């Protein structure tokens, strides 16, 4: 990915921790999705969440030399290290969670998504605000990026109160989601949640099957709230649900904040787990494991799962066979009730077979209708995301 200057982008210095060095391309993609232009990269040779004083000095000097707007630390930093880095550099410091939340904020459309983002940000920033207060009480000046100790103390109280209020609102939304999904199930609908790693092509498959035109692209997290569409497959009513994408090592505060959206997977009858087959085998394996980890945390793993190998039109047959074998073996080792289907959202390949697998996985087999073959499958308007 190019480090050349982009029009209108904010300039950033990317610092990537040793724990995430192998994920450099993902870090660059996430920075770009958040509208940052990475002008230089510093690779941290040491693991851990703490920066030495020497590391803080070197990173800050490079940031000032480049005149960046922000330092993106792709990893996890303890509050004291983030405090030191902000103080020394005099620019905003974003760790991995905060940069992901910036992307979320760019795509948030619903009230629920905005509340979820706000709560995740407040919970993640609270330890940093407390570190500022602690430092101020020790006699340090903390107003280089803020209004001073007493304002920080007031802000801490506001954050605690606001988090509690948002949690109550999201709990109510969560109950509403469950009520809606149970009502759909009682109506005889098959609930099929489309899940998978960010940018695997989940929304492209959703659009290809339903005829919708939901936003897609290489950017991460274009889908933040669940999108629903009812399709008719030979008399079986299938409610397709497009969900937020997974990332590696999803922080606990993001999972909790987006639980009402991710809950769609837990309540589904069947999961369509989309995998980008054009990626190398190691990346596919790692991303599949990351998705399985998230689904396990949501208690959404013990149900039929269809592993949709997407973008098969871009992969030679011999290579595709090896990747399918890798995916099948990994799923079996994880104890999944899974079957693999090769698809291409772009070419419309095997989407009818995918729907057949969805229907048969819950005991409602059937044959693809002519409407399915033509790609015109929508039988009802898009419903509001819960």
Q: What is the DSSP string of 8-74?
A: TPEEEEEEE-GGGGGGHHHHHHHHHHTTEEEEEEEE--S-SS---HHHHHHHHHHHHHHT-SEEEEE
Encoding tokens for residue 290? 């990351």
Specify the pLDDT at position 374. Answer: 39
Query: What would the pLDDT profile of 184-199 be if each residue is shown by its tens digit?
Result: 667 778 989 998 887 7
pLDDT of residue 200: 84
CA distance linking residue 286 with residue 138, whole number of Å: 44
Q: Which residue has the higher pLDDT, 153 or 366?
A: 153
pLDDT tens figures, 72-117: 999 888 988 998 999 899 999 999 888 888 887 776 667 777 888 8
Per-residue pLDDT band at 149 (split at 50, 70, 90): low
Q: pLDDT value at position 370?
A: 37
**What gap in Å lies between CA 124 and CA 93, rounded to an integer?**
13
Rounded (to 5) percent helix, strand, coil in the chain: 50, 20, 30
Residue 145 reports pLDDT greater than 70: no
Q: What is the pLDDT of residue 39?
A: 97
Is the pLDDT reported for residue 363 higher than 90?
no
Q: For residue 37, what pLDDT band results from cuts at 50, 70 and 90? A: very high
pLDDT more than 70, % of the chain: 80
The string of pLDDT tens digits covering residues 230-275 is: 999 888 889 998 887 777 766 666 666 666 666 777 888 999 999 9
**pLDDT band of 1, cuts 50, 70, 90:** very low
The model's pLDDT over 150-159, given as tens digits with 9 standing for 90+, comes to: 677 888 899 9
- Does residue 128 register a pLDDT over 70? yes
pLDDT at 356 over 70: yes
Segment 7-17 shows an average pLDDT of 85
pLDDT for 54: 95
Surface-to-core class of residue 192, CB atoms within 10 Å of its CB (0-12 exposed, 13-18 middle, 19+ buried): buried
Q: Is the pLDDT of residue 44 over 70?
A: yes
Instruction: In whole angstroms, give the CA distance from residue 99 to residue 235.
Output: 45
Answering whether pTM is above 0.75, one says no
- Taking only the tens place, the pLDDT of each residue in 289-306 is 988 888 888 788 889 999
Domains in the chain: ranges and CATH = 10-106 (3.40.50.11060), 189-374 (3.40.50.300)
Query: Is residue 379 over pLDDT 50?
Result: no
Cα separation of 31 and 57, whole Å? 23
Q: How far apart are CA 340 and CA 355, in angstroms?
A: 13
Helix (H), strand (E) at residue 171: helix 149-186
Indicate the burial class of 333 (C-beta count within 10 angstroms; 0-12, 13-18, 19 or more).
exposed
The pLDDT value given to residue 130: 86
Strand order in the sheet with 70-74: 36-43, 10-16, 70-74, 92-95
For position 252, what pLDDT does the model report?
65
């Amino acid at each position: 990915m190019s480090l050349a200057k982009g029009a209108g982008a904010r300039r950033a210095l990317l610092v990537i921790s040793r724990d995430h060095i192998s994920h450099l391309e993902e870090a660059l993609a996430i920075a770009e999705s958040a509208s940052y232009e990475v002008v230089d990269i510093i690779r941290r040779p040491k693991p851990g969440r703490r920066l030495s004083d020497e590391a803080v000095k070197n990173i800050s000097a490079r940031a000032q030399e480049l005149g960046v707007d922000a330092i993106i630390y792709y990893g996890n930093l303890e509050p004291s290290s983030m405090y030191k880095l902000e103080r020394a550099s005099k620019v905003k410091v974003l760790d991995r969670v905060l940069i992901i939340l910036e992307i979320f904020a760019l795509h948030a459309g619903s009230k629920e998504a905005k509340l979820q983002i706000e709560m995740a940000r407040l919970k993640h920033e609270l330890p940093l605000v407390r570190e500022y207060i602690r430092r101020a009480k020790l006699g340090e000046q903390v107003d280089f990026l803020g209004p001073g100790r007493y304002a920080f103390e007031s802000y801490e109280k506001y954050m605690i109160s606001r988090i509690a209020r948002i949690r109550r609102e999201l709990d109510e939304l969560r109950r509403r989601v469950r009520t809606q999904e149970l009502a759909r199930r009682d109506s005889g609908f098959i609930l099929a949640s489309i899940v998978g790693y960010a940018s695997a092509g989940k929304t492209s498959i959703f659009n290809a099957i339903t005829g919708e035109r939901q936003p897609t692209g290489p950017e991460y997290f274009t889908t933040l709230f669940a999108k629903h569409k009812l399709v008719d497959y030979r008399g079986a009513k299938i409610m397709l649900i497009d969900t937020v994408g997974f990332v590696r090592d999803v922080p606990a505060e993001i999972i909790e904040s987006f639980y009402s959206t991710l809950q769609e997977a837990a309540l589904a009858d069947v999961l369509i787990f989309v995998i980008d087959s054009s990626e190398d085998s190691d990346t596919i394996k790692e991303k599949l494991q990351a998705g399985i980890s998230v689904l396990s945390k949501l208690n959404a793993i013990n149900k039929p799962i269809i592993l949709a190998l997407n973008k098969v039109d871009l992969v030679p047959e011999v290579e595709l066979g090896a990747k399918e074998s890798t995916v099948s073996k990994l799923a079996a080792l994880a104890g999944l009730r899974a079957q693999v289907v090769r698809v291409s959202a772009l070419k419309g390949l095997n989407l009818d077979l995918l729907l057949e697998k969805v229907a048969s996985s819950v005991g409602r087999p059937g044959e693809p209708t002519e409407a399915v073959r033509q790609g015109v499958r929508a039988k009802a308007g898009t419903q509001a995301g819960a």
